[in-house]
Chains A and B, each alone.
Chain A
Amino acid sequence: MKKVRLLLLGFGVIGRGFAQVLLEKSEYIKKKHGVELSVVGVGEYNGCLVGEPVGLKTALELREKGKWLDQHPQWRKGMTSAEMITLIPADIAVEVVPSNIKTGEPGASLIEAALKKGLHVVSSDKCAVVNKFAELCDLASKKGKWFLYEASAGGGMPLMNLARECVQADEVKSMEGILNGTTNYILTKMSRGGMDLETALREAQELGYAEADPTYDVEGIDAAAKAVILANDIMGWKKKFADVNITGIMGVTKEAVQLAKKNGYVIKLIAEIKENSLSVSPKLIPENHPLNIESNLNAVMFKTDIGRDVVIIGRGAGGRETQSAVFSDVLRISKDL
């Protein structure tokens, strides 16, 4: 049995989701892949958990009770994640920190430190990936290490892995799709439920689909960051966040949505990656189009030169759903060790 040591950088929604899925699936993973995944360090902002392995069950129980990890018996007060990377021997760093969209920090520095230390890296942190894409890919390449980030764009949907592993002879000509579940939920409610935007947004917040400050979602920022990652990874472009032409959904009225519906269309916030340009904006979609998906689902249509149209539909966010992508990357690397 191959043993793979992991450092989990971050214990927020995605970090806890990782711990939960690992506890649930470790036996299945051992049986299916012949790999024993062991978390030997968990980084939080004011200290770390260190152990072989770290008691994830206890950590999850503490957080469920609303307590901090400093009550965990393996807590190392004051140890930073960067120090943990340096001090604790491991194979893969799983970086799931929520970073700043403008700077990519603190995630980008943690990924850099892990690669420099000689660790492979898996990240779900779109802000770090979108800000330092070229630098981090170059560093990983120089160090001969894996740097995979499937979960950073599209959550649980296999997009980059699909392009890399499943359509290997195809040239992806363009991609278009829904990369933000919150806005899709709002627009679905406006179309099917006849709600105005404010009411649909409030409902999305009550259900936990939207943050208290929904700016990143409704202004199209979240979808734009993901579009940049997909363009750079799949199309091989060198785009920055500033290259995306963004229009959010705040100007979309209930009347416009109903008018579209009356004429056989829906309005969706669509990211378009084609002809060397990137945009995120509300678009009219025919009701019978494959991208007319409902609720908080995401969907991406690839247009390729051989297979032509390929559509992936799935959960673009969520602590648990995102783990499908994180574990895919971790196991991809583990098989190579």
Chain B
Amino acid sequence: MEDCKLELKLEDKPGELSKVLDIVADNKGNLFSVSHIRERKREGYLPVIIQFQASNEDFNGIVKGLEAKGIIITEKTIGGKEEAQLEQEFILIGHVIDTDIKDTIYSICNKDVMIKSLDISLKSLKDPSSVFAEIGAKNAKALDEAMKKLAVTAAKKKLLLITGIHT
């Protein structure tokens, strides 16, 4: 049995947590703590950390079960080994749509880097638009490369790139 930890993004509504706990129990996980991070609630989603003991096989079963129910897992740890996703948020300002948003944002995605959320604000077609995005990466190198690539593309397309403070 390994010590396991999952950080989840749950909808802040009745029944969501019990759905998670059922999946852990059904896969023979031995739950020992559940923490809600209320101060980090955003857009109706609440970060929740669950800690439990499970075998490698059961851990994978729990992860698959949660994903099948559409539950977002932001961090996975088993046996002290973090399988966490590094996150990076950014904003692009300018003619993001006109300059092919798909090319700009999705070109940084690969097997190690994925877009986790995208939020677009468009005042009118002639005005500059703004895009807020959050990407997840499997490791620091992949994240760093993706952000460098994004910076080059943004400069080429004359878009203002605003990244998070920890970049």
- A contact set with B: CB distance below 8 Å: 176, 247, 251-253, 255-256, 258-260, 262-265, 267, 270, 281-286, 288-289, 291
| In-complex Cβ contact of A255 among B39, B90, B129, B162 (8 A) | B129
Contacts of B94 in A (CB 8 A): 251
Given A267-B91, A284-B91, the answer on whether A255 and B164 have CB atoms closer than 8 Å is no
If A251-B160, A262-B119, A263-B43 touch, does A256 touch B165 (CB 8 Å cutoff)? no
Distance of A286 Cα from B88 Cα, bound (Å): 12
The reply to whether A270 and B119 form a contact with Cβ atoms under 8 Å apart is no
Alpha-carbon gap, A123 to B133, bound state (A)? 44
Q: For the complex formed, measure the closest distance between the CB of B9 and the CB atoms of chain A, giving whole angstroms.
A: 13
Closest to A267 in B: B162
Taking CB atoms, residues of chain A closer than 8 Å to B130 are 253, 255-256, 259
- Complex Cα gap A263–B132 (Å): 8
A253's contact among B39, B119, B128, B132, by CB below 8 Å, is which? Answer: B128
Q: Please, which residues of chain B bring their CB within 8 A of the CB of A262?
A: 43, 119, 132
Residues on B close to A: CB < 8 A?
A: 39-40, 42-43, 89-91, 93-94, 117, 119, 121-123, 128-132, 134, 160, 162-165
Q: Are A255 and B89 in contact (CB under 8 A)?
A: no
Determine if A284 and B89 form an interchain contact, defined as CB atoms under 8 angstroms apart: yes
Does A256 lie within 8 Å of B162, measured CB to CB?
A: yes
Closest chain A CB from B89 CB (angstroms): 6
Provide 27 A-B residue pairs closer than 8 Å at the C-beta atoms, listed in order of the A residue.
A176-B165, A247-B160, A252-B93, A252-B160, A255-B128, A255-B129, A256-B132, A258-B121, A259-B91, A259-B119, A259-B121, A259-B131, A262-B119, A263-B132, A263-B134, A281-B162, A282-B160, A282-B162, A283-B162, A283-B164, A283-B165, A284-B89, A284-B91, A284-B165, A286-B164, A288-B39, A289-B165
Name which residue of chain B comes closest to A177, CB basis: B165
Q: Which residues of B contact A256 (CB under 8 A)?
A: 91, 93, 121, 130, 132, 162
Nearest CB on B from A322, distance (A) = 27
Q: How far is the CA of A315 from the CA of B28 in the complex (A)?
A: 57
Residues of A within 8 A of B134 (CB): 263
Is chain B's binding surface mostly helix, strand, loop or mixed?
A: strand
Most buried by B among A258, A260, A285: A260
Closest to B158 in A: A251
Q: Which residue of A lies closest to B122 (CB)?
A: A255
Alpha-carbon distance between A265 and B119 when the two chains are bound, in angstroms = 13
Q: Smallest Cβ distance from A195 to chain B, in angstroms? A: 15
Q: In the A-B complex, list the 5 residue pairs whose CB atoms are closest, starting with the nearest.
A: A256-B130, A251-B160, A255-B121, A255-B130, A259-B132
Q: How far is the CA of A263 from the CA of B40 in the complex (A)?
A: 11
Q: How far apart are A152's CB and chain B's nearest CB, in angstroms? A: 25
Nearest CB of chain B from residue A302's CB, rounded to whole Å: 14
Residues of B within 8 A of A270 (CB): 165
Distance in angstroms from B64 CB to nearest chain A CB is: 29
Other A-B contacts than A255-B123, A263-B119, A263-B132, 9 sampled, CB-CB below 8 A, are A251-B94, A252-B160, A253-B128, A259-B131, A259-B132, A265-B89, A283-B165, A284-B89, A284-B163
Contact B160 A284 (CB under 8 A): no
* Chain B nearest Cβ from A248, distance in angstroms: 10
Chain B residues near A252: list those with CB within 8 A.
93, 160, 162
CA distance A282 to B165 in the complex (A): 9
Give the residues in chain B near A285, CB-CB below 8 Å. Answer: 164-165
Residue of A nearest to B128 (CB): A253
Residues from chain A with a CB closer than 8 A to the CB of B160 are: 247, 251-252, 282
By the criterion CB–CB under 8 Å, are B164 and A253 in contact? no
Contacts of B162 in A (CB 8 A): 252, 256, 260, 267, 281-284
Question: In the complex, which residues of chain A have a beta carbon less than 8 angstroms from the beta carbon of B129?
Answer: 255
